[in-house]
C-alpha cells in the first residue's frame, strides 16, 4: 500500500493506492454520510458499501448534465444533508466528477472523498481536484477545483471492467510518461502485456507512478496557471474529437496525443523515430491513433475550447519523449496545419 499527498490551497488530498474498498470506512470522518455511485458499480459492490443512503446515477457521460445534477441536489435535501455532511463518490471518472462537483457546490461546499473504481479514474480523473459537468456536449464547461479529502484506489476492482474501460486508463498512463519521464515510457513499453493481463503487482506500481506524476504537478500549480497545463497533453485536440464523435475519453486522448506528436514532428521538435515509438505504444494498448472524421470539423469544435485565449490556445507539444513544451499557438497556424495534413492524406 502506498500513500501520496497533494497539497492543495484549501487542504491536502491523500491518495491511497492498493487499499481495499472494504476498508474505506476507516478513512471516513465522523459525519453524516451520503454516497453517489452508478448502477454498474452498485450491481458489483453495493454489498461492501459503508452503511449510508446512496444515489445511483446512469453510467456514462450523459449523466454529467446540469438537469440531472439537480436531481442529486434534491435527493440530498430530501435526506436532510447539511453542511457538516460528507459525500463519498464510489465509481469511475463520471461519478467522481459529479460527486466532487455536487459536494463543492451543495450548501456552498461539503467535504468529500472518492473510491475510484476504474483505471482512468485511479490514474487521472479522481486525482487533482478538478470537478465538472458538461453543457451542450462540451466537456466540463461548468466546474470547480476542490480537492477530495481522500481517494482510495483498489486495483482489484479493475477485474470487473470491460477492456474498453481499461484502455481509457492506459491512455492517461502513457500521457503521464510522455510529459515526465522517458524511463517510465520505456517501462510501459516493457510492461505492456503484463498491464493488459492486469498483473496486480505491476499494475499497482504503474498506477502509483502515474499518481505521483500528477500529484507533483498539481501541488506545484493547483489552479492551472502554469505547469498544470502539461496535463492537457493530448486533451486539446482529443476533447474536440470526443465532443464531435462521442468516443470514449481515453481513445479520444490517444488520437489527441498522436495529433500533438505529429505537430511536434512537423515543427522539428521530435524525430520520426520518437513519433513512431509513441504510436506503437498506443496501438499496443489497443488505442486508436487516427479517426474517420473530417479534421476541419474537429478544428471548429476546438475553437470553442474553454482553455482558449482570444485567438490562440496553449498547446502541449513534445521536444522529446518525457520532455514537454507548452506553446501558445495562433488558431490560424493550427488551422493551416490541419488543412495541410488533410490535403496530404
Tell me what pLDDT residue 341 has: 75
* Helix runs in 130-222, H state only: 163-178, 182-196, 200-220
Q: Could you confirm whether 239 is annotated as catalytic? A: yes
CATH 3.10.450.50 is held by the domain 2-160:
no
Predicted pLDDT at 345: 43
Ranges of each domain in the chain: 2-160, 168-198+216-344
Q: Say which of 19, 224, 258, 274 is annotated catalytic.
A: 224
Residues 42, 111, 165, 172: which is the catalytic one?
172
**Residue from 249, 251, 262, 277 carrying the catalytic annotation:** 249
Residues 255-289 pLDDT 10s: 999 999 999 999 999 999 999 999 999 999 999 99
From 139, 214, 229, 262, active-site residue: 214
pLDDT over 80 (residue 306): no
Cα–Cα distances in angstroms (integers) from residue 214 to residues 125, 164, 235, in the given order: 10, 23, 15
What is the average per-residue pLDDT within 199-222?
96
Mean pLDDT (whole number) for 204-233? 94
Q: Give the model's confidence band at 307: pLDDT under 50 very low, under 70 low, under 90 confident, else very high.
A: confident
Looking up cell 510522455 gives 178
Respond yes or no: is residue 168 known to be catalytic. no
Q: Quick check: is 214 catalytic?
A: yes
For domain 168-198+216-344, give the CATH superfamily. Answer: Dehydroquinate synthase-like - alpha domain (1.20.1090.10)
235 is catalytic: yes
Which pLDDT does position 343 carry in this prediction? Answer: 53
pLDDT at residue 287 in the model: 97
Where is pLDDT greater, at 185 or 293?
A: 185
Q: What is the pLDDT of residues 138-180, one digit of tens each?
A: 788 899 999 999 999 999 999 999 998 999 999 999 999 999 9
Q: Cα–Cα distance between 266 and 17 in angstroms, integer?
A: 39
* Active-site entry in 26, 30, 78, 108: 108
Q: What is the mean pLDDT of the chain?
A: 94
pLDDT of residue 291: 86
Predicted local distance difference test score (pLDDT) of residue 308 = 75
> For residue 22, which of 206, 201, 156, 198 has the smallest C-alpha distance?
156
Q: Are 98 and 64 in contact (CB under 8 A)?
A: yes
Q: Is 224 a residue of the active site? A: yes
The answer to whether domain 2-160 and domain 168-198+216-344 are alike in fold is no
Q: Exactly one of 139, 239, 251, 262 is catalytic; name it.
A: 239
Q: What is the mean pLDDT of residues 5-11?
A: 89
Task: Please confirm, yes or no, whether 303 is among the known catalytic residues.
Answer: no
Rounded to an integer, what is the distance from CA 261 to the centroid of its chain? 20
Mark whether 82 is an active-site residue.
Answer: no
pLDDT over 70 percentage in the chain:
99
Region 318-325: mean pLDDT is: 97
209/316 Cα distance (integer angstroms): 21
Q: What is the greatest pairwise CA distance in the chain?
A: 62
Catalytic residue from among 235, 251, 262, 277? 235
Q: Which of 85-94, 251-260, 262-271, 288-297 has the lowest mean pLDDT?
A: 288-297
> How do residues 120-135 score in pLDDT, each as one tens digit?
999 998 899 999 999 8
Assess whether 216 carries a catalytic annotation: no
Select the highest-mean-pLDDT range: 126-140, 229-243, 289-303: 229-243
Spatial contact of 146 and 236, defined as CB atoms under 8 Å apart:
no
Is 306 part of the annotated catalytic residue set? no
Amino acid at each position: 500500500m502506498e500513500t501520496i499527498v497533494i497539497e492543495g490551497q484549501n487542504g491536502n488530498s491523500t491518495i491511497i493506492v492498493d487499499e481495499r474498498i472494504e476498508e474505506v470506512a476507516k478513512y471516513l470522518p465522523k459525519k453524516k454520510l451520503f454516497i453517489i455511485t452508478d448502477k454498474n458499480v452498485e450491481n458489483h459492490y453495493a454489498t461492501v458499501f459503508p452503511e449510508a443512503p446512496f444515489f445511483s446515477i446512469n453510467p456514462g457521460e450523459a449523466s454529467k448534465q446540469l438537469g440531472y445534477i439537480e436531481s442529486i441536489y434534491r435527493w440530498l435535501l430530501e435526506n436532510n444533508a447539511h453542511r457538516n455532511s460528507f459525500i463519498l463518490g464510489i465509481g469511475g471518472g463520471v461519478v467522481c466528477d459529479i460527486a466532487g462537483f455536487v459536494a463543492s457546490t451543495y450548501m456552498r461546499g461539503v467535504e468529500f472523498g472518492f473510491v475510484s473504481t476504474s483505471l482512468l479514474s485511479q490514474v487521472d480523473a479522481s486525482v487533482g481536484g478538478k470537478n465538472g459537468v458538461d453543457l451542450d456536449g462540451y466537456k466540463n464547461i461548468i466546474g470547480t477545483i476542490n480537492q477530495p479529502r481522500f481517494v482510495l484506489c483498489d486495483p482489484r476492482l479493475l477485474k470487473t471492467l470491460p477492456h474498453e474501460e481499461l484502455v481509457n486508463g492506459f491512455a492517461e498512463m502513457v500521457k503521464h510518461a510522455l510529459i515526465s519521464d522517458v524511463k517510465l515510457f520505456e517501462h510501459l513499453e516493457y510492461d505492456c502485456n503484463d498491464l493488459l493481463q492486469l498483473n496486480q503487482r505491476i499494475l499497482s506500481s504503474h498506477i502509483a507512478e502515474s499518481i505521483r506524476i500528477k500529484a507533483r504537478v498539481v501541488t506545484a500549480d493547483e489552479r492551472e496557471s502554469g505547469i498544470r497545463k502539461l496535463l492537457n497533453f493530448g486533451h486539446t485536440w482529443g476533447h474536440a474529437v470526443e465532443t464531435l464523435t462521442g468516443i470514449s475519453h481515453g481513445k479520444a486522448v490517444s488520437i489527441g496525443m498522436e495529433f500533438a506528436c505529429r505537430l511536434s514532428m512537423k515543427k522539428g521538435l521530435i524525430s520520426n523515430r520518437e513519433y513512431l515509438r509513441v504510436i506503437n505504444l498506443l496501438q499496443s494498448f489497443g488505442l486508436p491513433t487516427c479517426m474517420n472524421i473530417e479534421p476541419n470539423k474537429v478544428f471548429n469544435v476546438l475553437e470553442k475550447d474553454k482553455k482558449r485565449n482570444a485567438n490562440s490556445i496553449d498547446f502541449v507539444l513534445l521536444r522529446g519523449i518525457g520532455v514537454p513544451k507548452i506553446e501558445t499557438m495562433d488558431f490560424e497556424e493550427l488551422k493551416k496545419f490541419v488543412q495541410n495534413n488533410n490535403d496530404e492524406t
